[in-house]
Amino acid sequence: MILSNPLKDFTVRNLSLAIKQRDVSAEEVAGEVIARCELHAKYNTLISQDPEGLLAAARAADQHQSSGAKLGPLHGVPLLIKDNIDTKDLPTTGGTPAFENDYPRKDAPVVRRLLESGAIIAGKSNLHECAVGATSDNSHYGIVHNPYHFDYIPGGSSGGTAAAIAARMVPGGLGTDTYGSVRVPSAMCGIAGFRPSSGRYPGGGVFPPCHTRDTVGPMAQNSADLALLDGILSGTESNLDVTDLKGVRLGLPHRIFREQLDARTARVFDDAVDLLKELGAVIVEADIPEFSDLTNKTAQQIGSFETKRDMPAYFETRGTDVTISRMIDMIASPIVKVRIAGIMSLKPEAEEAYEKAMTVHRPAIKKIIRDYYNEHSLAAIIFPTSPFPAVEVHDEVVTINGETDKTAMWRLLDNLTYQTVVGAPSLSVPAGLTTDGLPVGLNFDGLPGTDQQILALGHAFERAAGPLPPPSIS
């Protein structure tokens, strides 16, 4: 049932506090999540959910609390897990048919950390098949719909988690990010999403594997919730020390990050920049030396080789009877099948290209970024998370400022790839809505290791900007 007096702010921090104060029980919250997921099932955000298991876990949490035992920071809070992150009590499909009823033998380390903190798994979220794509148009499980406009994409590949949070079905969850798969859907669905510095969270238990570039990332309504989740996932203290933005220097590289913006996105982004200035931030408009081509080439060489090399180990650790060849044969999307098959059939010379990417090109890109920060004494770089807002479902052709671009869907990744190569933290927060009611994301990037600072900057902006109006759904 829907609670007669639903909690006003369905956020991670709010629910955690409400449960601990006994304003609401974990079982009531779990029931609310189940009811909301049923009510909004048409958005197709879930691949699997165990309502009875969810309620049983919530009852156990309430009994634990009644016993007077110590409570974890996420006690009783239901969180959604992207369905390419291993969970032993729910199938992990990767959004592809071969794994439809396949249970990994153990939880991914990040899932264990959430469970050890008291969280409950709300379900597994829909995604672009094999996490290879930016639309979450899954050829087997169906398209995920954007709560701000049902006929529009949520972005991808972590679209199910983003859409469920935006629709207030769940307070938060996990995605994964190799090319922007946490940040793109967060921007398009009007929520906050964080890609941490590489290695900040424990790895393993994620399909497909790519240990240098891929990472799990938390997703929630705001940066305060992300900071809480980040602290748990990283095993550090949650810290939002920045109380204002006065004197904080933020780089704005126009040529790489602001060219060819959709006019609607540009207007919302410019308003966000104006607000940052009003808050006292110093906006440093200075371009970074061109590095996009090198970054894209390096990203491809690293991603493809590591996925091929690490895939057999993932299958073995998972404990599945599915073979790699069977998995590829059963991929529903022709585009995804070609990409995965191509990766798994890389020629031997790919290893030489990989070694050069890791030892020559990656350090060169790191130096370009580090020098830019040092030259301008920057705390962060800002830019629009996506060059355009959400587009219609199945619309792979995008018109930007009157020009039609058949490759525009891949341009979603233009601003979000270098971070995966250098291992930098990257945060997308809601910047505002376009005149036609579509969310736009503002991105804060930092140097590797500045995760807490980036989350604090996003939090400071959000406090001033205020939350987005929730989507108008029944």
Catalytic residues: 82, 157, 181
Which region, left, alpha or beta, applies to residue 44 given φ > 0 means left and ψ of -120 to 50 means alpha? left
Nearest to 212 by CA among 305, 85, 107: 305
CA-wise closest residue to 2 among 29, 20, 24, 23: 29
Structure tokens belonging to residue 109: 């380390």
Nearest Cα neighbor of 283 from 295, 293, 272 is: 272
d(CA 228, CA 238): 6
For residues 156-176, one letter each, b for 16 or more C-beta atoms within 10 angstroms of the residue's C-beta and e for the rest, the string is bbbbbbbbbbbbbbbbbbbbb
How far apart (Å, rounded) are the C-alpha atoms in residues 394 and 241? 43
Rounded CA gap, 138 and 125, in Å? 12
Calpha distance 253→241 (Å, rounded): 26
Partner residues linked to 381 by β-bridges: 251, 445
List of residues 6+ apart from 99 with CB closer than 8 A: 91, 92, 93, 207, 320, 322, 327
C-alpha torsion 100→146→417→431, nearest 10: -150
Burial of 349 from C-beta contacts in 10 A (0-12 / 13-18 / 19+) = exposed
230: closest CA among 465, 470, 12, 468? 12
Count of other CB atoms within 10 angstroms of residue 74: 27
